[in-house]
Structure 1
């Protein structure tokens, strides 16, 4: 069953090398992410599952120690999803359109950011694995996958990567959409309250229109948390580049 969860944004700019020493406005987000991962470690899980949005090539399971890279962002930096020591073999969780093949593949950007965060905190609390989730994945399937993850071991924790809307300002990647602030506020409220029903009910079409890449991972979290009776705390909420970034911890 799910014993804890951390929700973090996944912009590569969280990684200082990618930001080239800039992006001090994300310092508070980095600290909040570290605090949220600390909640995961304190829960003493048997396994950590890291879930993040992924394109076609990155969907499905990723082994502990899988390699990610920020070379596509102009930085000669590689990371791994946890230590290569120990058993991190995924145990049966796949998503629609994903292969069961568990040979090492390059991590999608969201899981590479997660790997960097886990490296910063020197994660050693439990074996881990990654799961790349297609952004168009239907809510019902996301919830089902989350339930399957929670049922696999006695004590499972989730690190859930994903951004809110990308339409908060005129200079945002998705330009300004007046619906974005309200959508992000509701997601922030739901994450802060560990409101499983609200996350399950997120409008997938609206999330797509607002370029909210975290929608599917958040609904995987909702499926995993169903019946777990966890409490939540919103640790960070801002949109420094017109993209909503949220950090929350559930325990």
Structure 2
């Protein structure tokens, strides 16, 4: 089968139980994520995910966890036969597990990388993932968009996320490799390292679908690539 690579954000608002009355407002982001996840699930029942967390580099697999730290005890697991429980799993791991369950995937193994991982090391990890059939890349864009910005608004956020959007929409791995880690950190775009892992995954990629949303001051990127 043709390899697939999917790019998604990982905000906790994806989980309806965590946003209660705000669920309708968050539905566009949730629907887009689930549409991409279903596309990846149709291709493979086992995923390899890449995400950013200060606890990286490490691999997390076959474990269950909870969103309790985000307000509600919603239990999720990374596989149908998870062998252990960790109540302190990072958010992107929990979101990967939630997506897995929503679309009926058997297992997802998550590679966590630190937010300051150098570009060359990101690309090298992507190269090592070249034999995987279904790769899920989780990462958020800048959180400095407009009046709803988590931090102070920054006029550079729009240009930065537009560059990311174009790179994902054209499967331009060179443009992704060229993202500035320092600028990304200043803008709170911690998905930078995960996107640059994607830039290292070998293949003659083309983008079959992409989108960008920033409804809550945070940039959310969505894309599906096929080799």
- TM-score (normalizing by structure 1): 0.82
Task: Indicate the residue corresponding to 2:129 in structure 1.
Answer: 149
Among residues 79, 102, 105, which one is paired with 1:120 in the alignment? 102
Q: Structure 1 25/142 Cα, relative in aligned 2: closer, same or farther at 3 Å?
A: same
Q: Structure 1 175/23 Cα, relative in aligned 2: closer, same or farther at 3 Å?
A: farther
Runs of 5+ in structure 1 lacking a partner?
A: 87-102
State the SS of the aligned residue for 1:52: strand
Runs of 5+ in structure 2 lacking a partner?
A: none
Q: CA deviation at 1:59?
A: 4.1
Among residues 78, 81, 101, which one is paired with 1:81 in the alignment? 78
Task: Indicate the residue corresponding to 2:67 in structure 1.
Answer: 70
Q: Structure 1 13/85 Cα, relative in aligned 2: closer, same or farther at 3 Å?
A: closer
Number of equivalent positions = 225
Among residues 110, 114, 117, which one is paired with 1:130 in the alignment? 110
In the alignment, the residues of structure 2 paired with residue 84 and residue 133 of structure 1 have an alpha-carbon distance, to the nearest angstrom, of 25
Contact 2:65 2:85 in 1 (8 A): no
Matches within 5 A, 1:229-248: 229-248=204-223
Q: CA deviation at 1:68?
A: 2.5
In the alignment, the residues of structure 2 paired with residue 243 and residue 173 of structure 1 have an alpha-carbon distance, to the nearest angstrom, of 7
State the SS of the aligned residue for 2:166: helix
Contact 2:126 2:199 in 1 (8 A): yes
Among residues 162, 182, 188, which one is paired with 1:211 in the alignment? 188
Task: Indicate the residue corresponding to 2:19 in structure 1.
Answer: 19
Residue deviations 1:4-60, cap 9 Å, x none?
111111110111111124142331222222221233233347x5211111122x641
Task: Indicate the residue corresponding to 1:60 in structure 2.
Answer: 58
Among residues 140, 144, 157, which one is paired with 1:180 in the alignment? 157
In the alignment, the residues of structure 2 paired with residue 79 and residue 59 of structure 1 have an alpha-carbon distance, to the nearest angstrom, of 22
Structure 1 runs (4+) deviating above 6 angstroms are: none
- Say if 2:227 is the partner of 1:249: no
- TM-score (normalizing by structure 2): 0.90
